[in-house]
Amino acid sequence: MPTWLVHGFRWPRPLIRIHIILQNLDDAASEWVMAPATASALSENFHSLYPEMMANLPSLRFIEQYDPNDLTSKSQPFAYVCDQVHEVQLGVDVDEVRGKGVASDTWGAVVDLRDKIAPGAKVAWFVVVNGDVERWAPAPVGILEGSSNGSQLSPVSGGSSVAREEVDDDSDQTKRQSKGFKKWFGSTRAKRSKR
């Protein structure tokens, strides 16, 4: 499990979502800022919005903490925006890593960036543990992948009988609704044509 000692600040998830929406960052995913496309989109966006600050933050990184055994949430309530990231190995001397310090220009740029995107967040050293850096997920199956029968069920398993019944119920309900609309619109057209 990768573990990092990072210097930076916590970026609350709601503020990440708002930033991505307001900046219209189509390639960014607010729930996983470490993803290459998201990190790249955010970095480019920060360079265009805050060029002076970013000139002093050449190694800015976005780090996530993640526990794959936590099935109750898809992400933690915040991500980390870091100017320094050190992977922690067994027996690392934390004081030695922290003792190298942060350049004053870098520290000032991190504080300024924090003020822009996460006002009030603490700039500090954090230990971040990530149980799945890749955030593995099964491949999507169903309509988008073009299953053979056009249903949303897995072409391999065919789904459970309960899932098939739910899909059948949904399609029956959709048919009933569309017939109801056709009758309503059809009767309206018939009445107009008689006039």
For residue 169, give the H/E element and its range: helix 161-194
| CA gap 171, 53 in Å, rounded | 54
Element (H, E) at 86: strand 78-87
Give residue limits of the domains in the chain: 3-129, 139-195
Contact 62, 33 (CB under 8 A): yes
- 125-156 tens-digit pLDDT: 999 988 665 655 445 555 555 544 444 433 33
pLDDT at 74: 67
Cα–Cα distance, 96 to 49 (Å, whole number): 34
The pair of structure tokens assigned to 26 is 């189509």
Over residues 85-114, the pLDDT tens digits come to 998 888 888 888 887 778 899 999 999 999
Q: pTM, whole model, 2 decimals?
A: 0.66
Q: Which two tokens stand for residue 4?
A: 């990092």
32-52 pLDDT, tens digit each: 898 899 999 999 999 999 999
**Hey, CA dihedral for 46, 49, 51, 53, is it positive or negative?**
negative
C-alpha to C-alpha distance for 67 and 72, rounded to whole angstroms: 10
Which sign does the torsion angle of CA 165, 169, 171, 175 carry? Answer: positive
**β-bridge partners, 8:** 82, 124
